[in-house]
Structures are given as C-alpha cells and as structure tokens.
C-alpha cells in the first residue's frame, strides 16, 4: 500500500496555530514528538489548548481501556475546553467526527454509541472526555496510515489507509478539529 508524503511534525504548529485562531476558545498549540498522553498535557496547559503528538506511550480510552498507539500511522490529539453539563456529549462528538471523516469515506462510517467510529465493523476512531470543575479534556484517536496490527487488534481495528483513503495525519486533524470544536461549543 503506498504511503503518501507527510508533513513533518516540526511544521505542524504553524498550521495548527493558524487554524486555532479561527476556532475560539482554542489559542494554544502544543506539538510533541512523544508523550505519555495528550490528555494530561492538555489538562495541565488549561482551557484553550490543543495537544497532539507523534507517539503516545500511555494513551487512554473509555472505562480505563488503553488506546493502542500506532505511532506515525495514527493521529492522537486532545483539546481542553470549558466544561458543559449537556447530556450525551461523547455521542454528539462521535457524530461530528463521523460526519467530518465521512467526507473521506462517504456512507461507510458507523457510530457505535457512545464514542466509537467503525468502518466495516472495525474501530477507526474513538473519543474520550474527561471533565473536571470548569474544564473538559476531549481526546480523539484516529487510525490514519497503514498499520500492522498486533494480535489483539487484528480484525478489530482499521485505518483510513486500509479503508482505501491515503491522507496525511495533519490534513485529517485540520479536517476534524473544527467539527469537534463546533460540536462542543454549539457554535
């Protein structure tokens, strides 16, 4: 499977800062080569922060599950936004994520409530929300490039590349970030 030329990680910050300038309340961008989890750095950096990384060593999923990092084949990011008490936020965000990714895979993405996106019955992406007083950290993981799945995930996970879409991780982030922010803020 051909791998497309990707935008080097050191070039991400400028493009993401320009995008975040159009997405209040986001105003701070942290692009890390490697980190334990984007969730913790986003929370510690405060409301308005976007954190993304090349590799997560300890990504989290719902109910204490781990998010299997696929390194340079995956996209992991977290944003810290003002908390809300609106119900079913995970499902709202999953639907917004599915709609934006649906431009790449029309009529193929299914939302598995409350927070997973499936293609052909296999997990493509997931949403994690961790709320505290005043702040919510929204973490999203998307399988983008070609992956050799470990035995545990073989047949259960899928990437955009496996689904027939060759794209750059930064371009995927630029596609989905506005949808996620607008779904959360209601704007």
Q: What is the mean pLDDT of the chain?
A: 89
Q: What mean pLDDT do residues 138-145 have?
A: 94
Q: Which domain holds residue 159?
A: 9-58+80-185
Contact 117, 96 (CB under 8 A): no
In a domain, 123, yes or no: yes
How confident is the model at residue 71, as a pLDDT? 67
In a domain, 23, yes or no: yes
Contacts of 15 (CB under 8 A, 6+ apart): 7, 170, 174
Q: Which strands form 135-143's sheet, in the order they lie side by side? A: 28-35, 49-56, 74-82, 135-143, 122-132, 116-119, 109-112
Q: What mean pLDDT do residues 106-134 have?
A: 94
How confident is the model at residue 151, as a pLDDT? 77
Question: Total structural domains in the chain?
Answer: 1
In a domain, 85, yes or no: yes
CATH label of the domain that carries residue 139: 3.30.930.10
**Which pLDDT band holds residue 123 (cuts at 50, 70, 90)?**
very high
How confident is the model at residue 150, as a pLDDT? 74
The phi and psi torsions of 126 (rounded to 5 degrees) equal -145, 155
Q: What mean pLDDT do residues 52-62 have?
A: 75
- Strand pairing report for 28-35 and 49-56: parallel
Contacts of 177 (CB under 8 A, 6+ apart): 19, 23, 50, 77, 79
In a domain, 75, yes or no: no
Higher pLDDT, 157 or 177: 177
In a domain, 89, yes or no: yes
């Amino acid at each position: 499977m051909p791998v497309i030329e990707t935008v080097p990680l050191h070039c991400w910050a400028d493009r993401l800062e320009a995008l975040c300038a159009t997405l209040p309340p986001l105003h701070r961008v942290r692009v890390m080569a490697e980190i334990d989890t984007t969730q913790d750095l986003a929370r510690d950096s405060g409301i308005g922060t976007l954190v993304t990384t090349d590799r997560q060593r300890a990504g989290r999923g719902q109910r204490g599950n781990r998010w299997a990092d696929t390194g340079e084949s995956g996209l992991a990011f977290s944003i810290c936004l003002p908390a809300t008490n609106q119900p079913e936020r995970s499902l709202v965000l999953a639907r917004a994520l599915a709609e934006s990714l649906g431009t790449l895979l029309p009529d193929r993405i299914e939302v598995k409530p409350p927070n997973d996106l499936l293609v052909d019955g296999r997990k493509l992406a997931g949403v994690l929300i961790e709320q505290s007083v005043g702040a919510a950290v929204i973490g999203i993981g998307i399988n983008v490039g070609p992956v050799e799945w470990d035995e545990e995930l073989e047949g259960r996970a899928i990437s955009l590349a496996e689904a027939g879409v060759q794209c750059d991780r930064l371009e995927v982030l630029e596609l989905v970030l506005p949808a996620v922010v607008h779904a959360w803020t209601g704007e």
